[in-house]
Structure formats: structure tokens, C-alpha cells
Amino acid sequence: MQTPEEYEITERVNALVKGLKKRRGYTKKDISQKLGIGLTTFNDYLNGVSSFKLGTLIKFAALCKLTLPDILDDTLEAKKLYSEDLADRANAGKNTLDFLAFILIIPAATSALATQWLFFFLHLLLVVYSRKDLNCMVVNVVFLLVYLLADLFTLSWHEYIYPNYNGLIQNTTAFGFPLLTNCLLMYFIKNRMQLSVWLSKGRNKEVLEPNKLDAPVYIVLVSLVFADSIAILENILRNLEHFGIDEEFARQFWKVQYIYDNYEYVKVFLMALVIILLFIGTRIRQRQLRLALGESGLGMNT
């Protein structure tokens, strides 16, 4: 049996094992082989049946690209490997800008899935708000449909991909699908007039009127695509051993996770910026329409 202090260390090791599975794709069998012990012995350690030997802990720390004190003291470096929750990462050495983003967008910080459904709901409100202006409503409807598609994908990802595949596949799909959807949105914004005419079957000239917010929204979408692309590249670098690269060489890239550690913050900030820009664009259009109606009314009176 383990002492309370040993059990606390075992809990940290269990968390790190989950982190290795997510980021490296290692199973318990893979880890036990790399530690030079049997799977039964390793499970006994993890279940508190017997205590970790010092040499095994040192090897395990090296496998995690940590030091033994990182595991014993549960340092920030260790937490970065196994922290799953956005709030945990905020406590794991995030900078001031990240912390402010977390505080400002608390409702979206609970989980990735909750964040996506929140933005879907906000886009739904924008569609309702812009219902009297086809020009803006078409744009908002497209964003709404894309976010619905993203939400359905996330549900499928949690159900089928996350439990059955290693970290390389998990992260590639998690970053790859948003990259695809953001590229589609960029294409739509760039060709908005043509697509709007097609969607409205050419029956409403409002869709041909330029929207001053198209360019800012396009720039934000480019930033989202950039963040997704860098996240995928980082994921490949962290998993070079899965591509046949020697593990000793690949290990030096295991901590390449600058975008990965800040991904939720970057995405929430940019997605919120899109909402704000679309709302401003809708407000400007509504004001222009009111002024146009007022001028036409004055013209009729004269």
C-alpha cells in the first residue's frame, strides 16, 4: 500500500499518463515498455497497490520531458502536460493577456463545446436581428449554418474520434475541421455578392450593395485560418515519432505548443470579434436604410 504522500504522486502520474495518451498517443503498455517494467507492475503502481521505485519515476519524468521535481512538486511544467480544462490552463502560467481574455469571456470558457454552442446562439440572434435586411441576413445565415456544422462535428469528435484514436489524429481533426470551415467562410466573404445573388435568386437588389465590414471580417477569418494552420503544424512537430522519426530526436519538439496552449483563447477572441463586426455591420446597414427611407419620405412630401 502507498502512503498518502505516495498516493498524491501516483495521482499526478495518472494525470500525466492521460496527457501522454492525448499528446503522444502512448498507451499504458507503450509507457510500461519504455520504462522497462511489465504492464501489470505499472498498473499496480497506478492503482496504488505498490509504490513507484525512484528509478522508474526518473525514467517516467524523462519520458514526459520533465524533471523528477516537476512531478514531485506538481510544477507548472507538469500541469501544462495534463491540464485539460481552460480554467486549469489559466492557472498554469498563462500571461496577463490570456487571463484578461478568460475573465472577459467567462461564459465561453467552460469547454470547447460550450463555447461553440454559445457562438451558434449569438449568430442565431444576429440572424433574427438582421431579418429585415437581406444583405446582412444572408451573411449571418451562412455563419450560423457553418457554426451548426462545426457543433455537430464537435459532438461526433467527442463520441467517435477522441476515445478511439491517439493524440496525433485527435488534434489533427480537432484543428483541421475548423481550418476547413474558416476557409469556406473566407471564400463566401470574398464572393459574397455572387453567392448572395444565387441564394436570393436575383430577386432582391439589396444583396448587391457593398458592406463596409466585409474586409475586417475577412481579415479576422484569415487570422483564424492562420491559428488553425499553426496549430496543425505544431501538432505534427510534437508527433514526429509517429512519422518514423527517431524518438530521441523527436523528443526535443514535444514542448512545441505555443498555439496549442493558447488555442482556446485565440479562437474565442477572434470568434467574438467576428460577432462584434457582424453586429456593427448590421447596425450600420439598418441606420443607412432608415436614413434612406427618411429621405425618400421627404422627397414624396415635397
Q: What's the full length of the chain, in residues?
A: 302
Query: For residue 110, what pLDDT is reported?
Result: 47
- CATH of region 4-82: 1.10.260.40
| C-alpha to C-alpha distance for 218 and 189, rounded to whole angstroms | 6
Instruction: Give the start-to-end residue ranges of the domains of the chain.
Output: 4-82, 96-301
- Report helix, strand and coil shares of the chain as percent, to nearest 5: 80, 0, 20
Phi, psi of 144 (to 5 degrees): -60, -45
Q: What is the pLDDT along the chain (302 residues), one digit of tens a residue?
A: 667 778 888 888 888 888 777 666 678 888 888 889 998 998 888 888 888 888 888 888 888 878 888 888 877 767 766 655 434 444 444 444 444 444 344 444 445 667 778 888 988 999 998 888 777 888 888 899 988 898 888 888 878 887 777 778 888 898 899 999 999 999 988 887 777 667 666 666 666 666 777 889 999 999 999 999 999 998 898 888 888 888 778 878 877 877 877 887 888 889 889 999 998 888 887 787 677 666 555 455 55
Query: For residue 220, what pLDDT is reported?
Result: 94
The per-residue DSSP string of 66-87 comes to --HHHHHHT-HHHHHHH--SHH
**26: burial class by Cβ within 10 Å (0-12, 13-18, 19+)?**
buried
Query: For residue 294, what pLDDT is reported?
Result: 61
Question: Please, what is the angle between helix 167-190 and helix 258-301, to 10°?
Answer: 20
SS3 track for 231-258: HHHHHHHHCHHHHCCCHHHHHHHCCCCH
Query: For residue 233, what pLDDT is reported?
Result: 93
The CA distances from residue 169 to 64, 80, 150, 244, in Å, are 20, 20, 17, 16
